[in-house]
Every structure is written in structure tokens, then in C-alpha cells.
Structure 1
Amino acid sequence: MITKKQIDNNTLSDEEIVKRIVNGESYLYEHLMRKFNLRLFRISMSIINDEMEADDVMQTAYINAYMQLSNFQHKSSFSTWLTRILINESLLHKKRKLKQTQLLAAQTDNEYSNDNPLRRLMNKELKVILEKAVSTLPEKYRLVFVMREIEEMSVNETMEILNLGESNVKVRLNRAKEMLRSELSIYYKTNEVFEFNLIRCDRVVNFVMNKINKES
């Protein structure tokens, strides 16, 4: 812990403290960290939005900055230089996390598609129902729906191809969605939503009874 006997840090600029750290007074780095902790935390949170992960990123950024102190060129302020390191580390962390999430999602999808025939059947049935519902739309609404929602074409592309104004494209798309909701509601009654079928019932009962039997 830094004391007044060691140095009165308030009399020195950040850049002067950096020079002293590089020259061997490594304990002064604590002063810089305490000074910028709140700023770095807020910036990291704005990118990562997770307190624990923001803490980890800050620690990594501080270590990286310390290892690079001798390369600090003083072309910008130390606070600017440190903040850039923090932002880069936060973005890199976010990118890694997104990649991990995507890989996990892909693995989960593969597990479901490979090991769950019931889910494959349900997805196939849903696809047929959706296609049938879309086919019932009047052509002018169906065309806009397919272009915007299925082909993911922009509003401008749709306007240009169909020679429509922006408001007409939006109105037709909204109308198509309303008609689809009405059409799809025919296929599912309220009491069928989240239906607790016999297979699921047996699975739950068997699991609970097995647990009870093991405990008894």
C-alpha cells in the first residue's frame, strides 16, 4: 500500500509516475490503478455488461499496460493510452465470448437434430404449416413478406423492385404479419399450448420415482 512517506502522488502527473515506474518504482502502479478503476470499469461494463467479466478484463488490461509501459511514447495522455488498451481487451473478450456462444449453440442444435427424432418431426411439421400459411396470403402481401422477412431484403430494395413507396412496403408487411397470425391461430388451440403429453408425463414420473427409491 502506498503511503505519504513513499511519495505525494498528487504532486506528480500520470506521465511522471509512469517514468518512475519504468525506472523501478513499480509500487506506484497501484496509484494509477486506483485512480482509473472507476473509469475503466464503467467503460468495460458498457461493452461487456457483466460485472465479473468486466473485473477480469480490467485485470488483463492493467497487466498488459504494465508490460508495455516502457513502450509508452507520451504522444497521448496516459489515461487515453490506458483506456484504449482496456477497450481493445473488452472488445476482444466480447468477440471470444460470442464465438463460444455460437459454437455452443451449434453443438446444441446438432445434438437436437441428431438425437431427437421428435424435434425433427416437429420442425418439419412447423415448416409445412408456415409454408401453407404464407401461401394463403394475397399475392401483394405475400411478395412483400417473402422479400423482407424470408429473403431479408432491405426496404429500399423492396421499394425499387416493386415500385412502391416506403409507407406502402411497411403497411403491406404489417398486414401480411397480421394475416399470418390469424391463419396460424387456427392450427393451435389454447389448451394445446405447452401440452403435457403422456411421454413427458412418464419421463417426469419415472425420474422422480427413481430418485425417491434411491433415497429410501
Structure 2
Amino acid sequence: MNHLGHPNTSTLSDEEIVKRVVKGEKYLYENLIRKYNLRLYRISLSIVNDDAEVEDIIQTTYLNAYLQLANFQNKSSFNTWLTRILINESLLHKKKSMRRNQLAIESEKDEMHHETPLKNLMNKELKVILEKAVSNLPEKYRLVFVMREIEEMSTHETMEVLDLGESNVKIRLTRAKEMLRNELSDYYKTAQLFEFNLVRCDKVANFVMSNINL
């Protein structure tokens, strides 16, 4: 008796096992699985080159082979027949995987580069709005904002140019940012082109401001 509690079948040929499995001795199929696992693994890995995916492919191969056992007619060895099923499954899996990857790449490119007329309009409109918002700042706040955030001057350089103390530079910059946030929020609340509720307005305003390095 073997470890499964069944008669020892180690001397049976593949073809004899197939016949007995088809007749109802399903437990014998495990003999074939254990016998060919390593071979199928190596062959599939050479095609797919992904260890995790190979495991799924092998499982699918054994299931497909089991469902087709009744059609196995000994025109070739069971080993050859099983390997053909594995190769077909591996190639199919690889083709699907490549297609998924290609679609993902194309989708990412479209998202990054696809510019619709509406998107172009919104980008131009946003640029105008931001420029207008900055120009509307009181001069003492606008100067600090432009120097620190647009020209990327250091706090020390800004202090020297404007003859201000460090705390004044920081306070004016903070105040300028607050004014810009408020103006952008007010714009989206009153704009007629799109309808935004307050939560979405705040979200858009905060996103825009964070992306212009405020």
C-alpha cells in the first residue's frame, strides 16, 4: 500500500494509469501529477519566465488534461500529449499577459499625453486665473510670493532685496498663499462653466495650490 492507502501503482505505465482514471480510479491521477511536475515547471518557466504564473499554468494544464483524458488515444505518449497542452497553455498565457501589459502602457500614455479640446481650454483658463490671482495680490505680498515661489529665491535673498526681517518675509508669504487659496476657491464656487459643490471646490483649490509649490 502507498501513503495514500491505495495499492502500490508505481509499476503502472502512464497509459495504464490513464485508462484506470477514466474508468473511475481518480486517485491515480496524482501519480501523473507528481511524476511530471518538475518537467512541466521547467518547460513552462522557459516560456513565461514568471515563477508565480507558471504555477497557475501547470494547475490549469493538469485540469485541462484531466477533462480530456477520455479523448487520449495513445497516438503519442502521455508525456508528449501533456507537454503539448502545457506549451499551448503557456503560450496562451504569455500572449494574454503581453496584451494586458500593452493595454496598460497604452492607457498610461493616453492618460499622460491625450489632450482634448476641453482639457486644453481648461489648462489655458487655469493659467489665466492663476496669473490674475497673483497679480491681484497687494504689492507687498505679491513681491514676496514671486521672489520665493516663482523665482525660487531664498528667504535670506528676499530679506536683503526687500530690506525685511525673516519673520516679515515668512508672514507675507503665508498671507499671500492664503489670499490665493481664497481667490481660487471663490472662483470655482461662482464659475458657470462647471458646477462644483464646496467640498470639490476646496479639493480642486488645494490640489492646484499644492502643485504650484505653495
TM-score of the superposed pair, with normalisation by structure 2: 0.53
- Name the counterpart of 1:8: 8
Provide the secondary structure at the position in 2 that maps to 1:31: helix
Determine the C-alpha separation between the residues in 2 that align with 1:5 and 1:16.
19
| Count of residue correspondences | 124
Determine the C-alpha separation between the residues in 1 that align with 2:20 and 2:14.
10
State the shift of 1:3 in Å: 3.2
State the shift of 1:4 in Å: 7.0
Amino acid at match of 1:11: T
Deviations 1:169-213 (A, max 9, x none): xxxxxxxxxxxxxxxxxxxxxxxxxxxx97xxxx9xx58x9xxxx
Provide the secondary structure at the position in 2 that maps to 1:10: coil
**Is 2:76 aligned against 1:53?**
no
Determine the C-alpha separation between the residues in 1 that align with 2:7 and 2:105.
53
Q: How does 1:42-121 map to 2 (within 5 A)?
A: 42-114=42-114
Determine the C-alpha separation between the residues in 2 that align with 1:77 and 1:11.
16
Determine the C-alpha separation between the residues in 2 that align with 1:4 and 1:53.
29
Structure 2 gaps of 5+ residues are 121-150, 153-206
Q: How does 1:135-154 map to 2 (within 5 A)?
A: none
CA RMSD of aligned residues (A): 2.7
Determine the C-alpha separation between the residues in 2 that align with 1:36 and 1:10.
14
- Name the counterpart of 1:190: none
Deviations 1:3-39 (A, max 9, x none): 3751222211010000000000001111100000000
Determine the C-alpha separation between the residues in 1 that align with 2:9 and 2:50.
32
Amino acid at match of 2:14: D
Deviations 1:80-134 (A, max 9, x none): 10000000000000000011111111111111112698xxxxxxxxxxxxxxxxx
Amino acid at match of 1:15: E
Q: How does 1:136-215 map to 2 (within 5 A)?
A: 206=210
- Name the counterpart of 1:24: 24
Structure 1 gaps of 5+ residues are 118-196, 210-216
Amino acid at match of 2:112: Y
Determine the C-alpha separation between the residues in 1 that align with 2:54 and 2:7.
30
Determine the C-alpha separation between the residues in 2 that align with 1:68 and 1:56.
18
1:12–1:90 CA distance, 2 compared to 1 (3 A): same
- Name the counterpart of 1:35: 35
Determine the C-alpha separation between the residues in 2 that align with 1:4 and 1:30.
10
Determine the C-alpha separation between the residues in 1 that align with 2:19 and 2:7.
14
Seq. identity, %: 55
Amino acid at match of 1:49: N
Determine the C-alpha separation between the residues in 2 that align with 1:93 and 1:44.
10
